[in-house]
A and B are shown apart, each in its own frame.
Chain A
């Protein structure tokens, strides 16, 4: 309980610092502070005056910050400098599209990575183990932008079995509600669900594979190391000497203890995935937060830029804290290590 409160408090403080940072960005960006903050230019005199009043732009910095925080929390994130669209409303479907990639990638890398790591550890020193660790190390060191383009060149250009980019063929005009195309097809009762679904999946698999290579190889290494570490523990050797069956030892004693170490690393894995997703979204022209953020940098669209930074950082923070809380809840002995005995 104390641990949970501690973590949540830390999360709150980090979020406040984060918002303070994005707030200060408005002053550091070139141009008018209020324009940077809201996306409304001074030419539009009427609106500018009303927004200036609304944002307390002439008050002290702390007062300004509190007003800014209120706007952030109520979803009034201003409008884009380029398109004049509301930032928050543009953001939500993009977040859905990114989350679709993230969730599927995490699923794929966990479903493949953990079993491969376990198997490699159990056959330590064998040919499978060597191949897996060798492949893991080499694919871990391949930069993701190169890999993405090579896979596009091979599968999309040369073989022509996958589309080059995008989320779905424009022929299927699936209305965007959540942003995740698989969910949108189902939500909106699209007239040709199977054809659209197939097309969406065809667009999905390439970016997911590119994205999951790195977390998967990391997961293989972490799992392998964790299982090997647990196998060396005294309680496993004692269980063996007690004559327990190998499968019982594996499922009841080795895996729970190995997974404890693996779960602790998931937050790190997620952070890595988030930095990769920016690159992959740009390359695959995926309508997500990452490509949105990069585009806003090119276009000097400051309201969007700070929104993108805010969303990315918040997502990483939330997932990390959630992982930590789950870890401490599921494995009580972790809490003991956090405090003194």
Chain B
């Protein structure tokens, strides 16, 4: 059953060149306990999508959607206060530049304790305080921080960005949310910790039924047991399907290009050109009409100046006029 249901979400920004649809009719469903990987290059609007789900909204954005439902709540219909209660209780997010999400005037310990919901603590004031501390320490241990006691005394300006990232993960999982949005959660970490974090997230999803929307830049950094994968380019959904389908039988040229770029099969001849899409991601002011991948797509033809319809086959959907057929 889908607990997060997004249909045709559009986010418009006002720029000097007029309104721009940064996210164009994007649909996304997330089932309970599912790990969904959202892949897109920088500037594709994936962080914006995450913020729109969380209600982390700038009043200048114009958000419209046919459906933006979280369980039985219509998120766009709630007033800000109600929405804050719902998202605060059920959702959490790991942000991209975690340092700026920590209050510079409080120690890590104070902020971490604040994220622990007081409803789960019992006893009187003093007992609850020590309880909070113990829980905070345990959280830090879980995200792989060994000197938890020492780190809790520190101020945000005294820690590295990688550490801040781990702390923001600890804060995000503090109240065991139903939905965790992880926006490139391991960019500032060393590879060994990265694997540990992925294992932790995978375990949380399996043991607590936590759904995870994992946002990454490429197909190589994925939580191992990610069930579904979607690819976004410039705010348009290119392809969405089970991770297996995406990795093995891509239908969309963009997916294939991303797969080649990520060098998963390691079969690149020495001194050959690395596979890339030609050109660069267009700026917000110069988005192409129709399929936004058009100017860079190897299979583009004249029809691509029309936005391609979304083809749905069971779990699998893609938006392309000239998809890769299975026999190719």
Q: Given A242-B115, A333-B157, does the pair A237, B105 have CB atoms closer than 8 Å?
A: no
CA A185 to CA B100, docked complex, whole Å: 54
User: How far apart are B314's CB and chain A's nearest CB, in angstroms?
Assistant: 34
B85-96 vs A, Cβ < 8 Å mask (1 yes, 0 no): 101110111010
**Chain B residues with CB below 8 A from A46, complex form:** none
Q: Which of B87, B105, B115 is close to A256, meaning CB atoms less than 8 Å apart?
A: B105
Assess the B114–A241 pair: CB atoms within 8 A: no
CA A243 to CA B82, docked complex, whole Å: 10
Task: Write the chain B residue with the least CB distance to A337.
Answer: B157
**Chain A residues with CB below 8 A from B158, complex form:** 336
**Chain B residues with CB below 8 A from A237, complex form:** 56
A235 contacts the other chain (CB 8 A): yes
Assess the A333–B56 pair: CB atoms within 8 A: no
Q: Given A237-B56, A332-B155, A333-B157, does the pair A244, B103 have CB atoms closer than 8 Å?
A: no
How many positions in chain B have a CB within 8 Å of any CB in the partner chain? 27
A178 contacts the other chain (CB 8 A): no
Which residues 161-215 of B have a CB within 8 angstroms of A?
171
A321-341 vs B, Cβ < 8 Å mask (1 yes, 0 no): 000000000011100100000
Q: Given A333-B157, A336-B157, does the pair A243, B103 have CB atoms closer than 8 Å?
A: no
A233 contacts the other chain (CB 8 A): yes
- Chain A interface size, as a band, is 20 to 34
**Chain B residues with CB below 8 A from A235, complex form:** 100-104
Assess the B93–A241 pair: CB atoms within 8 A: yes
CA A242 to CA B56, docked complex, whole Å: 10
**Chain A residues with CB below 8 A from B144, complex form:** none
Task: Write the chain A residue with the least CB distance to B89.
Answer: A243
Q: Given A241-B84, A243-B88, does the pair A253, B103 have CB atoms closer than 8 Å?
A: yes
**Chain A residues with CB below 8 A from B93, complex form:** 238, 241
CA A234 to CA B93, docked complex, whole Å: 12
CA A203 to CA B168, docked complex, whole Å: 57
Which residues 65-122 of A have a CB within 8 angstroms of B?
none
Nearest 3 CB-CB pairings of A with B:
A243-B88, A234-B100, A333-B157
Known: A234-B95, A237-B56, A252-B106; 18 extra A-B contacts, CB below 8 A, are: A234-B97, A234-B101, A235-B100, A235-B101, A235-B102, A235-B103, A235-B104, A238-B93, A241-B55, A242-B92, A242-B115, A243-B84, A243-B85, A243-B87, A243-B88, A253-B106, A333-B104, A336-B158
Q: Which of B85, B101, B156 is close to A238, meaning CB atoms less than 8 Å apart?
A: B101
The winner among A243, A333, A336 for most chain B CB atoms within 10 A is A243
Tell me whether chain A's interface is mostly helix, strand or loop, or mixed.
Answer: helix
The winner among A235, A239, A242, A244 for most chain B CB atoms within 10 A is A242
Assess the A257–B56 pair: CB atoms within 8 A: no
**Chain A residues with CB below 8 A from B92, complex form:** 242
CA A336 to CA B101, docked complex, whole Å: 18
**Chain B residues with CB below 8 A from A260, complex form:** 105
A229-249 vs B, Cβ < 8 Å mask (1 yes, 0 no): 000011101111111100000
User: How far apart are A335's CB and chain B's nearest CB, in angstroms?
Assistant: 9
CA A240 to CA B102, docked complex, whole Å: 13
Q: Given A237-B56, A331-B105, does the pair A242, B100 have CB atoms closer than 8 Å?
A: no
B54 contacts the other chain (CB 8 A): yes
CA A260 to CA B97, docked complex, whole Å: 23
A-B pairs with beta carbons under 8 Å apart, 13 shown: A235-B100, A235-B104, A237-B56, A238-B101, A241-B87, A241-B91, A242-B88, A243-B84, A243-B89, A252-B114, A332-B155, A333-B155, A336-B157
Q: Which of B95, B103, B155, B171 is close to A257, meaning CB atoms less than 8 Å apart?
A: B103
User: How far apart are B261's CB and chain A's nearest CB, in angstroms?
Assistant: 31
A246-284 vs B, Cβ < 8 Å mask (1 yes, 0 no): 000000110011001000000000000000000000000
Assess the A257–B54 pair: CB atoms within 8 A: no
